[in-house]
């Protein structure tokens, strides 16, 4: 059949921050496969191929319509030979043999299963695999394995926290935490961030920022919120990290490095009656208890860093990576969750809103719901 390249192809940028990507993905049949290949590369510590597959998936997510032939992707950035070969297989056979090979690989299956447990990263998963372990049951039955506190919580609430969190559940948690924070400090500010701020219907956790309108007043607030959640009987697990934020340090080049603000990783108990709408609580059919466990992240930056943290925690990961890459490669600037630094002028660029940061970078503002790269 006739196939002409989309006229828009020439205008698609290699940077996700110069594209607009909503939650509506017209090329899911390709991006699901490419992301699975990226994950496999990550398990094999092939950083280059991993990034290449993720970038390719991200470009395809930004397209306004489905790709029906290879001609349609001519001129698009970030689509390498491997990606094109995978796409060709899917276009011709309706499936990818390459990804099926990966999916049937014993090591891939085990690492994917192990890393699905809260608190288990690729290193631990690899260690368990090398010991010959293949299932979660085998790990729990192995007497020589010492699980840390986070991993024990991960196994304890595995069924609940591997189930997606709905928007209605995120809203319910938002009300609960907001009420708790306001009970302690009436002028505290709570903001929903992460995937739900980008308009996603489901997420793996719920991410919030918590701060105070006056500098320094945020100190101690997070710990008091945690105590109050515990008193209410809804705190199932809490890992609290103190702030290691140092104003004088330059922004970090390493994307994967965690930011330095005070934060906590929680598992909260959400009651059925607290969730509005027909969906109600996301749980197994036949599950009789009227509550579920949900993963929640709370970050508590000082208010003068608020815009940077909001931008950093809204994501997507690919959008964040490209914002930083753009800042560095195209502007000679350094951006992270704490600050924006102009390396030529040797100057920190202050910001009170996300719009300020885009403006400093000479970028058109991209709305949160357009950052699903």
Positions marked catalytic: 205, 207, 297
| 81-91 burial code (b ≥16 CB/10 A, e <16) | ebbeebbebbe
The entry of Mg ion, ligand DCP, none near residue 40 (CB within 5 to 8 angstroms by kind) is: none
331 token code pair? 């502007």
By CB under 5 A, residue 205 contacts Mg ion: yes
Single residue of 39, 169, 205, 354 touching ligand DCP by CB under 6 A: 205
Local structure of 51: helix, strand or coil:
helix
Q: Is 319 helix (H, G, I), strand (E, B) or coil?
A: helix
**Which residue from 195, 301, 302, 368 is in contact with ligand DCP, where contact means CB under 6 A?**
195
Smallest distance, Å, CB 72 to ligand DCP? 28
Q: Could you say whether residue 204 binds ligand DCP (CB under 6 A)?
A: yes
Interface with Mg ion includes 169 (CB under 5 A)? Answer: no
For ligand DCP, the binding residue among 42, 55, 337, 354 (CB under 6 A) is 337
Asked if 207 is part of the footprint of Mg ion (rule: CB under 5 A), the reply reads: yes
Q: Which of 131, 182, 317, 345 binds ligand DCP (CB under 6 A)?
A: 317
Q: Dig out the tokens for 351 from the structure.
A: 């910001």
Q: Under the criterion CB under 5 A, does residue 368 sit at the interface with Mg ion?
A: no
Which of the ranges 76-84, 91-99, 194-202, 240-248 carries the binding residues for ligand DCP, by CB under 6 A? 194-202
Residue 259: C-alpha distances to residues 121, 131, 239 (Å)? 18, 33, 15
Q: Compute how many other C-beta atoms are within 10 angstroms of the C-beta atom of residue 44.
A: 15
Q: Which stretch binds ligand DCP (CB under 6 A): 51-59, 61-69, 312-320, 354-362?
A: 312-320
In the list 315, 326, 333, 361, the residue contacting ligand DCP (rule: CB under 6 A) is 315
Instruction: Tell me the CA distances in angstroms from 263 to 64, 141, 287, 297, one per residue in order.
Output: 37, 33, 32, 7
Between 159 and 317, whose beta carbon lies closer to ligand DCP?
A: 317
Strands 262-271 and 206-211: unpaired
Nearer to ligand DCP, 15 or 313 (CB): 313
Q: Which two tokens stand for residue 49?
A: 């191929």
Residue 169 touching ligand DCP (CB under 6 A): no
Q: Which of 36, 169, 207, 354 binds ligand DCP (CB under 6 A)?
A: 207
Which of residues 10 and 164 has its CB atom nearest to Mg ion in the complex?
164
The bridge status of strand 165-166 relative to strand 202-203 is: antiparallel
What's the CA gap between 138 and 324, in Å, rounded? 41
Which of these segments, 8-16, 207-215, 254-262, 356-364, binds Mg ion (CB under 5 A)?
Answer: 207-215
Beta bridge mates, 269: 293
- Distance between CA 325 and CA 208 in Å, rounded? 25
DSSP annotation of 289 reads: S
Interacting stretch for ligand DCP, rule CB under 6 A, among 43-51, 215-223, 240-248, 307-315? Answer: 307-315
| Partner that binds at residue 317, options ligand DCP, Mg ion, none, CB closer than 5 to 8 Å by kind | ligand DCP
Stretch that binds ligand DCP, among 129-137, 196-204, 231-239, 346-354 (CB under 6 A): 196-204
Two structure tokens written together for 193: 């961030």
**Token couple for 60:** 């395809």
Rg, Å, the chain Cα set:
22
322: enclosing H helix or E strand: helix 317-331
Record the tokens describing residue 114, joined without a space: 């192990």
For residues 28 and 224, which CB has a smaller minimum distance to ligand DCP in the complex? Answer: 28
Strand partners, 300: 262
Closest separation in Å from C-beta 337 to ligand DCP: 6
Q: Which is nearer to ligand DCP, 297 or 330 (CB)?
A: 297
Q: Considering only residues 258, 276, 347, 350, which one is a binding residue for ligand DCP as defined by CB under 6 A?
A: 258
Q: Is the dihedral of CA 267, 257, 117, 23 positive or negative?
A: positive
| Residue ranges binding Mg ion (CB under 5 A) | 194-195, 203, 205, 207
| Residue ranges binding ligand DCP (CB under 6 A) | 194-195, 200, 203-205, 207, 258-259, 312-313, 315-317, 320, 337
């Amino acid at each position: 059949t006739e196939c002409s390249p989309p006229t828009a192809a020439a205008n698609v940028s290699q940077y996700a921050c110069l594209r607009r990507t909503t939650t509506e993905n017209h090329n899911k049949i390709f991006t699901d496969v490419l992301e699975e290949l990226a994950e496999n590369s990550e398990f094999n510590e092939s950083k280059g191929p991993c990034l290449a597959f993720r970038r390719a998936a991200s470009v395809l997510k930004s397209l306004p319509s489905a790709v029906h032939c290879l001609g349609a992707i001519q001129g698009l950035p970030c689509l390498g030979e491997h990606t094109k070969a995978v796409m060709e297989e899917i276009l011709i056979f309706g499936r990818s043999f390459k990804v099926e090979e990966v999916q049937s690989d014993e090591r891939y299956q085990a690492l994917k299963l192990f890393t699905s447990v809260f608190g288990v990263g690729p290193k631990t998963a690899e260690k368990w695999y090398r010991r010959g372990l293949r299932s979660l049951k085998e790990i729990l039955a192995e007497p020589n394995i010492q699980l840390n506190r986070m991993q024990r919580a991960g196994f304890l609430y595995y069924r609940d926290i591997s189930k997606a969190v709905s928007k209605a559940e995120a809203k319910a948690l938002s009300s609960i935490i907001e009420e708790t924070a306001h009970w302690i400090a009436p002028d505290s500010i709570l903001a929903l961030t992460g995937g739900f701020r980008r308009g996603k219907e489901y997420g793996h956790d719920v991410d919030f920022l918590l701060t105070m309108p006056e500098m320094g007043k945020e100190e101690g607030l997070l710990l008091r919120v945690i105590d109050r959640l515990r008193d209410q009987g809804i705190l199932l697990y809490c890992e609290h990290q103190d702030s290691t934020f140092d104003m004088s340090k330059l922004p970090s080049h390493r994307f994967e490095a965690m930011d330095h603000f005070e934060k906590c990783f929680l598992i909260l108990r959400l009651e059925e009656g607290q969730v509005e709408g027909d969906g109600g609580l996301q749980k197994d059919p036949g599950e009789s208890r009227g509550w579920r466990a949900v993963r929640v992240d709370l970050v508590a930056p000082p208010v003068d860093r608020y815009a940077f943290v909001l931008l950093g925690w809204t994501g997507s990961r690919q959008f964040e990576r490209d914002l930083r890459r753009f800042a560095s490669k195209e502007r000679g600037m350094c951006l992270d969750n704490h600050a924006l630094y102009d390396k030529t002028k040797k100057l920190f660029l202050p910001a009170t809103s996300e719009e300020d940061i885009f403006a400093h970078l000479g970028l058109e503002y991209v709305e949160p719901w357009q950052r699903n790269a």
